[in-house]
Amino acid sequence: MKSQETVGGVHDEGKVWGGRFTNGPDPALERISRSPRRYFDLVPQDIRGSIAHLGELERCGLVTRQERIRLVDALEEIGERFDAGEISPAPTDEDVHGFLERQLIERVGALGGKVRAGRSRNDQTANDLRLWLQDRTAEIARGVEQLVDALITRSEDAGGAIVPGFTHLQPAQPVLFGHQLLAHAQALARDLKRLGAARESVSLSPLGAAALAGSSFHGDQIAMAHELGYRDVVGNSIDAVGARDHVIDFLYAGASIGTSLSRLADELILWGSPQFGWIRLHDAFSTGSSIMPQKKNPDIPELTRGKASRLQANLTGMLGVMKSVPFSYNRDFSEDKHYAFDTADVLETVLPAMTGFVRSMAFVPERMSEQAAEGFTLATELADWIAEQGIPFSDAHDITGRAVVACEERGIGIEDLSAADLAEIDPRITPDVLPRLTLESAVMRRGGANGTAPSRQNDQRARLRSEIAEYLAVFVTKEDQG
């Protein structure tokens, strides 16, 4: 059934406005106004919102029970056929709302036009994206959790392998390689907590706000909100349609995850290079060169590092959209879907790839051990021992500095100094220090709660797993619990 001109105006098929217009839109307006094809992915969410809205229309007497059932059946059929690819938006469908109204009217005639009462595209689009974000944040959270689990598991696999820890990308002190992996797991765990906060920020329903002033046909917005899985309703109707900070929260969490992934990616690239040689790349998670037959390239972490900039740009872009618009609905807000969709797509692509890379990489502990003491990483052990003899640490620092100079001149490490060498540097250094100048002693003595000592690693893994379980709880729905 084709839509017809309204009395005294124009109402084009696939649009939900036009009554006060005597001429149709210019093609240039149609091109800029029509939603990108990707935005029609919100059809399932728009149908869910329409079904809940129909319950309100029945409660206030605008539709009968039989009409509501007929409309709900038609909406569910549209959803099934859309998912199956049997129907799709026409060029005349301005947005998801116009597409669904056209489909409804084709099935149930003028009755389909009743669904629009008491609502606006303003609260509809806000609701659609909130529901979509609920679903996608849960999927992304599972991806983050799987990567954290991979890092925790591989930290166990690393056992007692010792590597040089770095500051300023210069050798600093020895650490367990597993401890380095847990550092990345800890950062991603915090990102999961941020993602949970973003999920909480979409837990309020905007439906019933209509265009901006509220609806005269909604008597029980709380019931409608609960039907859709919301915790409550947005407290102010203007804020309900005029806010997008929940999108910004999601984009911020996504940008933070991207930054953590990029830092992990950068170290994976370094560790896999011949200069480090700490890990070997699995064939299934690396690529080759078109000209150099020997190459095995870490494309996954490189691509991940590059895509982090897109995640950061999406956050910046959305902040730019919101910085100077009047506080109500503005068409500028349609950019929210572009940024949210892209962030979700990127994360759902890179997270499983990075997880596979981490799970599949092989360790080369002998290379780690060879490098662990390079760059005088045991110097702090000597300074600490001297301070334990009652010598001020400022003096201990200077004495150790002289020891480093002596080692440089001879081309040896701190661990290669003999008791006679040490006594020559300062007579207060006795042979008792020698057992301390080993990699194993250095890591074992860092036994604080967050230290690199082997005795602390299981505690740190257990604490991380507990934190992850806590952060994931916010994503558990009633359906999951059932």
Owner of token pair 């609806």? 215
> Pairing relation of β-strands 162-167 and 170-176?
antiparallel
Using alpha carbons, select from 180, 174, 165 the residue that is nearest to residue 457: 180
Coil, strand or helix: which one is 232?
A: strand
The candidate with the shortest Cα–Cα distance to 365, out of 162, 166, 184, is 162
Query: Residue 82's CB: how many other CB atoms inside 10 A?
Result: 20
Q: Write down how long the chain is.
A: 482
Q: Which helix or strand (DSSP H or E) is residue 421 part of?
A: helix 419-425
Active site residues: 168, 289
Say if CB 24 and CB 124 are below 8 A apart.
no
CA–CA dist 450, 189 (Å, integer): 15
Longest dimension (CA), the chain: 105
Take residue 333 and report the two structure tokens written for it: 């807000």
- Residue ranges of alpha helices (H) inside 87-211 are 96-108, 121-157, 177-201
- DSSP-assigned letters across all residues of 353-401: HHHHHHHHPEE-HHHHHHHHTTTTTTHHHHHHHHHHTT--HHHHHHHHH
- Beta-carbon neighbour count of residue 151 at 10 Å? 27
What does the DSSP assignment read for 241-291? HH--HHHHHHHHHHHHHHHHHHHHHHHHHHHHSTTT--EE--GGG-B--SS
Side-chain half-sphere CA neighbours of 462 within 13 A = 6
Q: Are 232 and 203 in contact (CB under 8 A)?
A: yes
Nearest of 33, 103, 38 to residue 73 by alpha carbon: 103
What does the alpha-carbon distance between residue 360 and residue 285 come to, in Å, rounded to a whole number? 8
